[in-house]
Structure 1
Amino acid sequence: MTPRDMSKSQHPAVVVVYLVRDGAAGPEVLLGEKRRGLGTGRLVGPGGKREPGESAVETAVREVAEEVGLGIETADLEARGTLDYRFPYRPSWSQVSDVFVCRRWQGSPSGSDELEPRWVPVDAVPYDAMWDDAKYWLPGVLGGGTVRARFTFAEDDATVSGYTGTGVAAPSDAERGA
């Protein structure tokens, strides 16, 4: 997202990074239990709000270091799309997120006051423990795809009530937690 794009949106700009590695039984993604703030208790990828004058990749590098203690290089970030989150019943939660995948870093993940990280097999991501929208787009992104979508949340501020865009699919029974 360019600064010009940001000026068009009144919603905060954020980033999320999915670190992916080859595990013993196949690909794994680093997810963390959110310890405070918006989404407390949910599993999320490291990320957060962009600071004034900071690019999305600069935010990604900073947030990954702060939240899980890993060093990443901007050149190793794979831009995978943008998500526009709308919360009509709690507008202060609405935000626009750049999505990245990263396969190279320095260090070992460690917990912070924001996240308690753990490696999860990509084929066993517990979507029922994440924000409801993740099951619609994250399988595709982890499979190498991209996403550009808007998600609108219902009155409960937890359930997706609608979506538009590309890189989005109705979740399978496994992704719905059924």
Structure 2
Amino acid sequence: MSVIHHWGTKSLIKAGGTFHYRGMWMGGAYGIITIDPSHVEYKLKTNFNFPKGSYYKERFRDLLGDGIFNLDDESWKQQRQLAKGEMHSSRFLDHSFKTMQDIVYKKLLVLLEKLAISGRLFDLQEVLLRLTFDNICTAALGVDPGCLALGLPDVPFAKAFEEATELCLLKFLMPPFVWLEPRDGSRKL
């Protein structure tokens, strides 16, 4: 886990699970960060449609484009209805269950057994992150990236996705003039 994640975790614990933040000067970032289960439930279940706004969308456009995770209002509602119908179908649920079952029994447990037999130390958080990535890619995209393969190989796609998400986080922390390209097409140094 990177230093910023450790700092964020410690800050959230000190603040009792939730805090309001203001970003760097001239950056325009502000919001609420929480790990409080009741706040998370409210955000994800009780009142799910929180507008993201231009600040969020601008910083995630390179990674998310104009997909459901980067939309607001009617566009978001339309895409959510389409996704909800598919994700609640028995076919998708059966596929997701089978995918997770296969990954756990055929990959995760085999890997953990080999690691235990070898006596090799390993980072459980990294293994669980690999499990999550393999599951999402296999269930949603139909492609197994192989993050849980024996030997815990480097997987270029997983590494690129991790770097892309970290760069998006940095965009939240820095004022736009640091990372935004000029409108005239010239490049910054």
Same-fold call, TM cutoff 0.5: no
Higher RCO, 1 or 2 (CA under 8 Å, sep at least 6)? 1
What is the TM-score of this pair, normalised by structure 1? 0.21
What is the TM-score of this pair, normalised by structure 2? 0.21
Higher strand share: 1
